[in-house]
Amino acid sequence: MNFEESHFIPLVNRQANLLDGRFCRCEKMPQSGSSRMYFRILLDNSKTIIGVYNDDIRENRAFFYFTRFFNKKQLNVPQLLAIDDSECYYLLSDLGDTTLYSWLQQERENVLLGENVKKYYRKVIEQLPKWQLSAQQQMDFSVCYPRFAFDRQSIQWDLNYFKYYFLKLAAIPFDEQLLENDFQVFTDWLLEADAHYFLCRDFQSRNIMIYQNDVYFIDYQGGRKGPLQYDIASLLYDAKAAITPLEREELLQYYLAQFAQYQEIDREKFVYYFDGFVLVRILQALGTYGFRGYYEKKVHFLQSIPYAIENISYLLQKGSLPVAIPYLCHVLQELTKSDFVHYYKEAPNKLTVTVTSFSYKKGIPTDFSPNGGGFVFDCRALPNPGREAATSAYTGKDVAVIDWIEQHPEFEEFKKHVWELVSASVRNYAARKFTQLMVNFGCTGGQHRSVYCAEQIADLLRLQFPDIVVMLHHINL
pLDDT at res. 339: 67
CA distance 43 to 413: 66
User: Are 3-93 and 100-342 in the same CATH fold?
Assistant: no
Residues 6+ apart with CB under 8 A from 376: 364, 440, 442
pLDDT at res. 346: 59
CA distance 119 to 199: 23
Query: Do 125 and 250 contact (CB within 8 A), yes or no?
Result: no
CA distance 55 to 37: 10
Q: Which helix (H) or strand (E) holds 449?
A: helix 449-464
Instruction: Spell out the domain ranges in the chain.
Output: 3-93, 100-342, 352-474
Longest dimension (CA), the chain: 83
pLDDT at res. 110: 73
pLDDT at res. 347: 54
DSSP secondary structure code for residue 429 in this structure:
H
| pLDDT averaged per 10 residues in sequence order, the chain, 477 residues | 77 92 92 85 95 96 97 96 96 96 85 87 97 93 95 97 88 91 98 97 96 96 97 96 93 98 96 98 94 76 88 94 97 86 64 92 79 88 95 95 96 97 95 90 96 97 93 86
pLDDT at res. 22: 94
CATH number of the 3-93 domain: 3.30.200.20
Surface-to-core class of residue 108, CB atoms within 10 Å of its CB (0-12 exposed, 13-18 middle, 19+ buried): middle
CA distance 422 to 175: 40
SS3 31: coil
Cα dihedral 336/342/347/352 (nearest 10): 170
Other CB atoms within 10 A of residue 392 CB: 15
Angle subtended by helix axes 267-290 and 229-236, to nearest 10: 60
pLDDT at res. 113: 84
CA distance 264 to 255: 13
**Alpha-carbon distances, residue 49 vs 85, 194, 207 (angstroms):** 19, 39, 18
SS3 230: helix
pLDDT at res. 371: 66
**Alpha-carbon distances, residue 346 vs 100, 170, 330, 471 (angstroms):** 21, 18, 27, 11
Beta strand pairing call for 48-53 and 224-226? unpaired
Please enumerate, as own/partner, the contacts of 345-351 that have beta carbons within 8 Å and a separation of 24 or more.
345/303, 345/306, 345/471, 346/303, 347/435, 347/469, 348/435, 349/433, 349/435, 350/435, 350/467, 350/468, 350/469, 351/426, 351/429, 351/430, 351/434, 351/435, 351/436, 351/437, 351/468, 351/469
CATH superfamily of 100-342: Aminoglycoside phosphotransferase (APH), C-terminal lobe (3.90.1200.10)
| Torsion 331-335-339-343 (CA) sign | positive
CA distance 302 to 324: 30
pLDDT at res. 342: 63
